[in-house]
Structure 1
Amino acid sequence: MIVSLPVHWIIIIDILAWTFFHLAISAICLKLPFSWFLEDHFWFRTFAFEQSGKLWQRLFRVKTWKGLILDGTIFLKKGYSKKGLHGTKSRDLMVFAAETKRAEFTHLLSILPAPLFFIWNPAWAGWVMILYAIVFNLPIIVVQRYNRGRISAITSGLGKESSRLM
């Protein structure tokens, strides 16, 4: 801990800091161009080992709990709700898949500020903040990869159409 504060102030700062980081990162990611999420960036690819999302279902039983996760659009009143498909046409599926990339990116970035909490928290609490960041964001990342894997299995032959969406 670099800064020494009373416990009640540490708790208040932790809550405010996480709120700030979550909202700021979400707002920044919402401003990123949609076309960027249509591209086939390496980190967003559905890899063969994921078996079109089946890996995530087998490891984490995603279908049993994914409906319990709140969609960030209820807080920001912007963005694309991923609670369900907005249609079944190829364009609808590609938009949904792109928005799962945006959500995954948002939640990956939301883990990064966790080490900053060591500045004003005791070491044990800093580790709790890192654990919080992982426990809060990792399930959402898993759901996005699960959903995108399922969609990519359906849309794998529709790559030419994505250029018309930009």
Structure 2
Amino acid sequence: MPVISLPVIWIIIIDIFAWAFFHLFISVLCLRLPLEFFLKDTYWFKIFRWERSGQLWQKWFKVKKWKSSIIDGTIFLKKGYGKKSLHGSKIDDLKIFATETKRAELTHWLSILPAPLFFLWNPLWAGWVMILYALLFNLPIIIVQRYNRGRIQSIIS
């Protein structure tokens, strides 16, 4: 049972605006983080051996077939580093691209976190729909970032 009881039309409107707010706020927040923050090799962004330089994501999810259909968030904010294609083939270009995949990955992990808040004003079933939305919207993008970074890191090394 939601903490706040509202008519269905208001719940839908609040859901739409809340998701828009969270997505934009988190995106802007992550865009403000300096590139140096993502240059560190932290455990969170490590491409693990079991990912086989991104090949695992291709094998399980056929990433190459659908990754081009994902809209790059930079078109909405008119800022950031577009990841639809490489910005060059030099080692430094590849390193920057790989680093920017970490920014995108963090943005999408953080974008999942607000989902439980929707239980405050949504009926229980709709709260679970919001959780499902957060996962279905963000996990494919996270998978693409890990796939691309794994491939780039194998090229660099």
TM-score greater than 0.5 by the shorter chain: yes
Match of 2:79 in 1: 78
- Secondary structure of the equivalent of 1:80? coil
Match of 2:50 in 1: 49
Matched, 1:125 2:151: no
- Secondary structure of the equivalent of 1:25? helix
Q: Which runs of 5+ in 2 are unaligned?
A: none
Residues 108-151 of structure 1 deviation map (CA, whole Å, 9 limit, x = unaligned):
00000000000000000000000000000000000000000000
Residues 26-58 of structure 1 deviation map (CA, whole Å, 9 limit, x = unaligned):
000000010111110101011100001100000
Match of 1:162 in 2: none
TM-score by length of 1: 0.93
Match of 1:147 in 2: 148
Amino acid at match of 2:105: E
Shift, 1:16, TM fit: 0.1
CA distance in 1, matches of 2:17, 2:69: 24
CA distance in 2, matches of 1:41, 1:48: 15
CA distance in 1, matches of 2:105, 2:156: 19
Q: What's the % identity of the aligned pairs? A: 70
CA distance in 1, matches of 2:153, 2:46: 9
Match of 1:63 in 2: 64
- Secondary structure of the equivalent of 1:110? helix
CA distance in 2, matches of 1:132, 1:65: 18
Shift, 1:154, TM fit: 1.2
Match of 1:89 in 2: 90
Matched, 1:6 2:7: yes
User: How many pairs are equivalent?
Assistant: 156
- Secondary structure of the equivalent of 1:91? helix
TM-score by length of 2: 0.99
Amino acid at match of 1:43: W
Residues 63-87 of structure 1 deviation map (CA, whole Å, 9 limit, x = unaligned):
0000000000000000000000000
Q: Which portions of structure 1, spanning 4 or more consecutive aligned residues, are displaced by more than 3 angstroms?
A: none
Amino acid at match of 2:60: L
